[in-house]
Amino acid sequence: MADNIQDIKRRIKSVNSTKQITHAMELVASAKLRKSRELAEGRRPYFDAMIESMNRIVAKTTGAPNEFMKLREVKKVAYILITADRGFAGGFNANVSKMVEEHIDNKENAVLYTVGTKGRDHFKNRFYHIEGEYDGITENPSYFHAKEVANIIMNGFKNEEFDEVYLAYTKFVSMISQKPELVRLLPLKREDVEVDSLDDAVDIPIEEMTVMRYEPEPEDLLSYLIPNYISDTIYGAMIESAASQQGARRMAMESATTNANDMIEGLTLKFNRVRQAAITQEISEIVSGAEALK
Amino acid sequence: MAETFRLKIISPIGIFLDEDVERMVVRGTEGEFAILYDHTPLTTTVAVGTFIILNGKEKRTGTLLGGLATINPKETIILTDAAEWPHEIDLERAKQAKERALKRLQDEKFDSARAQAALERAIARINAKEQ
């Protein structure tokens, strides 16, 4: 056989050490995934309560729509793209980046805000205009990071630097499935803040609602709540992406570990065959040598 | 025992507090006010500052970093950016943050609104710790 017994031995060793790394990464990813999911669960009550307050306040406002709800002619579009800082997560980064790339119909009119280095690199290499980049926060996002991004976005929108804002992230469907999503963040749709099916966490009788006083005016409260809504939506997207990132990485590493196991199995079989062939050959040489001496 | 109302303080990270209390004093943007059982329904904004919860003789303080309070006779919900108990506050860090914010307010390079907000947060934390 052509393969050297030493070469096969070396390959087994090399595949085995790779396997150990991928297996360790798989375990780390599952631990981080658990943490991200806890964050996502913690955010839920705040989001529900906020939507409810917004609902009630929006119902009270009668005047002009809030500046973040106004539609205007779309000249420039901003994208907030949430990816990971690190690879080794299967198609995670590529999927969401590609989705944004497909959505952009004119490169000149797109402004990008990237969270995570992978998305930034993807678009930098293709010479897109990247206005803001935020690195090192994707694995453990905090509300204040999200708020920072939200403030910059809202200022840009207010100053008419762009007329629409899209948020691209990866939705965590289940442990084995993550789906890239693109949602319009600004201008706000009225139905975003007006949901019919309210969570029944807080039960307020109608008569109490009608006497509810607002201080300051509902319009002012709304302009306080909307930035919070946007911050929290970005925060939610960051958490979902963080969970998806770990989920995708866990999957990728799991299949890498399985592949390594298969490879080791194949190589071990080959190794044994080569070894056996060598022994058989040696025996037949000895036998034929002894035969010749007779 | 005085009548109690349900108080919920919720931040984006999770539910900070969910229990029955007798009285709560918070700093609104229009000044300090107390919430008791059977308060008239009111929705108002909460400023960055300390809050006090009174339950019989027990008194607890903490900080709220801004938010929105929805007050109903039997229940009050406060949505806040962040809430903290004094033991969660690092006094040294708050003091440093205060110094830094004060410096930044003098310096035109920095965004004064952000420095102002940072200063308010730092002062609220220091007050809560020292009470």
Peptide bond preceding A227 in cis form (omega within 30 of 0): no
Q: Do A39 and B82 touch (CB under 8 A)?
A: no
Distance from CA of residue A168 to its chain's centroid?
Answer: 9
Q: For B14-63, how does the pLDDT look when each residue is reduced to its tens digit (9 = 90+)?
A: 899 999 999 999 988 878 889 998 888 888 989 888 899 998 888 898 88
Q: For A172-217, how does the pLDDT look when each residue is reduced to its tens digit (9 = 90+)?
A: 888 888 999 998 888 887 666 665 544 444 455 555 556 778 878 8
Q: Report the residue of chain A nearest B10, measured CA to CA.
A: A46
* Window from A65-74, A123-132, B69-78 with minimum mean pLDDT: A65-74
Distance of residue A247 Cα from the nearest chain B Cα, in angstroms? 21
Q: Which DSSP helix (H) or strand (E) runs through A82?
A: strand A77-82
Q: Which one-letter amino acid corresponds to residue A151? A: N
State how far the Cα of A279 lies from the Cα of A273, in Å rounded to an integer: 10
Query: Is the model more confident about A44 or about A128?
Result: A128
> Where in chain B are the domains?
5-84, 89-130
> Which pLDDT score, from 0 to 100, does residue A261 have?
96
CB A205 within 8 A of CB A49: no
Residue A165 — very low, low, confident or very high, per pLDDT cuts 50/70/90? very high
Residue B112 — very low, low, confident or very high, per pLDDT cuts 50/70/90? confident
Dmax (CA) of chain B: 55
pLDDT at B117 over 90: no
The reported pTM is: 0.81
Residue of A36, A38, A39, A46 to mutate, testing the B interface (most B Cβ within 10 Å of its Cβ): A46
Fold of A2-26+252-287: Helix Hairpins (1.10.287)
Query: Does domain B89-130 correspond to CATH entry 3.40.50?
Result: no
With an 8 Å Cβ cutoff, is B50 touching chain A?
A: no
Q: Report the residue of chain A nearest B77, measured CA to CA.
A: A49
State how far the Cα of A215 lies from the Cα of A62, in Å rounded to an integer: 16
For residue A204, the tally of other CB atoms under 10 A from its CB is 16
Name the residue among B40, B68, B75 with its Cβ closest to that of A221: B68
| Arithmetic mean of pLDDT, A67-85 | 88
Q: Whose CA is closest to A37, among A136, A180, A178, A192? A: A178
Q: Do A50 and B79 touch (CB under 8 A)?
A: yes
CB A245 within 8 A of CB A138: yes
Distance of residue A30 Cα from the nearest chain B Cα, in angstroms? 21
Query: Is the model more confident about B128 or about A204?
Result: B128
**CA B97-A237-A31 angle, 5° bins:** 80
Q: State both tokens at A268.
A: 């071990």
Could you give the percent of chain B with pLDDT greater than 70?
98
Residues of chain A with CATH 1.10.287.80: 2-26+252-287
Tell me the residue length of chain A. Answer: 294
CB A242 within 8 A of CB A33: no
| Arithmetic mean of pLDDT, A73-86 | 91
Name the residue among B41, B42, B70 with its Cβ closest to that of A53: B70
Fold of A39-248: Pyruvate Kinase; Chain: A, domain 1 (3.40.1380)
Q: The domain B5-84: what is its CATH number? A: 2.60.15.10
| Arithmetic mean of pLDDT, B57-82 | 89
Q: Do A46 and B79 touch (CB under 8 A)?
A: yes
Q: Is B86 exposed, middle or buried (0-12, 13-18, 19+ CB in 10 A)?
A: middle
Distance of residue A262 Cα from the nearest chain B Cα, in angstroms? 43
Residue B78 — very low, low, confident or very high, per pLDDT cuts 50/70/90? very high
Q: Whose CA is closest to B6, among B57, B73, B61? A: B73
Could you give the percent of chain A with pLDDT greater than 90?
49
